[in-house]
Amino acid sequence: MPNRPVQVKHDENIAILSLNRPAARNCLNGEMLQLLLTTFASLKENAAVAGVLITGAGASFCAGADIDAMRTMTPFEAGRFSQLGQDVMFAIESLGKPVIAAVNGYALGGGFELALACDFIVASRSAVFAAPEIRLGIIPGFGGTQRLTRLVGKARAKELIFTGDRVEGEAALAMGLANRIYDDGALLEKAAALLKTICSRGMLSLKMAKEIIGAGADVDLKNACLMERDAFAICFATEDQKEGMTAFIEKRPAQFKGK
């Protein structure tokens, strides 16, 4: 279905999810958010999918939420829209599989928040990030005030949100918004290769690491380390741990089975 606003294709053991409203710079409306929610629920249950790459069709990753659809919302409607957006972001975080945002072009507003919900961001040199909501008389509503703060710190997050200023490719890398920068034409290929490498590791330990990093960010260091200790111990009840360590001793690639 070429006109479907969210498209998924499979490349070996990864799923490449494309936002597909290029004429509208892939802006998010209620239909897209609901479709993303059901898509991530399906990807979570699909055992053949080890990881997900999110990108945008055309020249933008996602230029934000659909302002035409938002401008006449009542406070009640705006609250429901915000909750739907937040539900999508939590669905990404709780997928139990690595999720990388491959940001090509604009990642603004809700699109920036979508990228922030991923495990990390890789970007093209022409990528542009911004939280411009303050210029519209509103604030980020899909979790951006919280995830951006956790990523770059309170002062830097306040600066970006208070000003609405844009951050481009190399500056995003220096600031810690993006983990890697690739040439525009190589972004998708490089991002897919990176995700495939990650997904060749032990999937149970990847899932465990993702959960512990996420949960530990919201508790004090001592309790977070206790969580890590218990998760570390649980890994030793898996076949993957035995295979990984045996393969290391035998100097061969590990053949993980996710068990």
pLDDT single digits (tens) 150-192: 999 999 999 999 999 999 989 999 999 999 999 999 999 999 9
What is the per-residue pLDDT across 203-225, written as a single tens digit (0 to 9) for each? 889 989 999 998 898 899 999 99
Give the closest residue to 13 by CA, choosing from 52, 54, 56. 52
Annotated catalytic residue: which of 113, 211, 239, 250?
Answer: 113
Q: Own/partner pairs for 215-220, CB < 8 Å, 24+ apart?
A: 217/150
Q: Let me know if 239 is a catalytic residue.
A: no
What is the layout of strands, in order, in the sheet containing 51-56?
A: 6-11, 14-19, 51-56, 99-103, 120-124, 180-182
CB within 8 Å of 124: residues ≥ 6 apart: 103, 104, 105, 169, 181, 182, 183, 184, 187
Of residues 12, 93, 133, 250, which has the active-site annotation?
A: 133
- Length of the chain in terms of residues written: 259
For residue range 3-30, list pLDDT tens digits in order. 789 999 999 999 999 999 998 999 999 9
Query: Which residues are registered as beta bridge partners of 181?
Result: 123
The answer to whether 113 is a known catalytic residue is yes
Average pLDDT of the residues in 222-246: 92
* Residue-range domains of the chain with CATH: 6-199 (3.90.226.10), 203-249 (1.10.12.10)
Instruction: Give the model confidence (pLDDT) of 80-97 as tens digits.
Output: 999 999 999 999 999 999
For the four alpha carbons of 164, 166, 171 and 172, in that order, the dihedral sign comes to positive
